[in-house]
Amino acid sequence: MSTPTTPQQYPLQTILAAGLEWLYDVCQPDDSLLHGGSPTYHCFNGRKYYFAPSGPGGRPVLVVNIAQPRYEDRPGRFGSEHVLANPLEKTELEELTAVLEKMGRRVHRTWNGHPSETGSVLLEDFPHASLVSAAFRYRSGCPIHRSVFCSREKGCSWYADGHDKLVQPDVAKHVQQQAATTTGE
């Protein structure tokens, strides 16, 4: 058995800066494909975050999850109950909203959150048109086989090629920028 590796962790500010840039400022190639959302980024605060461009009403969503949910058995009304011991904080989504607004992005609404292990923040502004197009191209499917299920194993590289062309959030760049800011340069 292989030992589980600890995922790379980033400061919250870095994840948000890279994700917002990806949603709003990055121009995606005409032949890129987006299935779902961004990669998931682990944060030093015990959370993981990802960005999904096509949320309710076409607005983008930032999703936060507890990185390692812990459950414990507690006495309940009907015997022992299996409950989440480390849910999101009561004010977590409000605080996330405040950070996003400080970064210049308004929040439309939020859902889930405490006492759950997941929370969603729906941003007000619509994502970059080229990112919306990449998601639309994916949903339209492979033009030859008229399917979204094409894969290299099945002999069609439509999805693999399109996914490779999608520009992902540039977290490394934001790590460097923030290191430069904190050293006062």
Q: Which residues bind Zn ion (CB under 5 A)?
A: 142, 144-145, 150, 156, 158
Whether the Cβ atoms of residue 170 and residue 18 lie closer than 8 Å to each other: yes
Least Å distance between CB 149 and Zn ion?
8
d(CA 59, CA 55) in angstroms, rounded, equals 5
Q: How far is the CB of 138 from Zn ion (least distance, A)?
A: 12
Task: Decide whether 106 or 154 has the Cβ nearer to Zn ion.
Answer: 154
Shortest Å, Cβ 108 to Zn ion: 36
Nearest distance from residue 96's CB to Zn ion, in Å? 39
Q: Which is nearer to Zn ion, 70 or 145 (CB)?
A: 145
Tokens of 70: 């812990």
Our CB check for Zn ion shows the closer of 108 and 165 to be 165
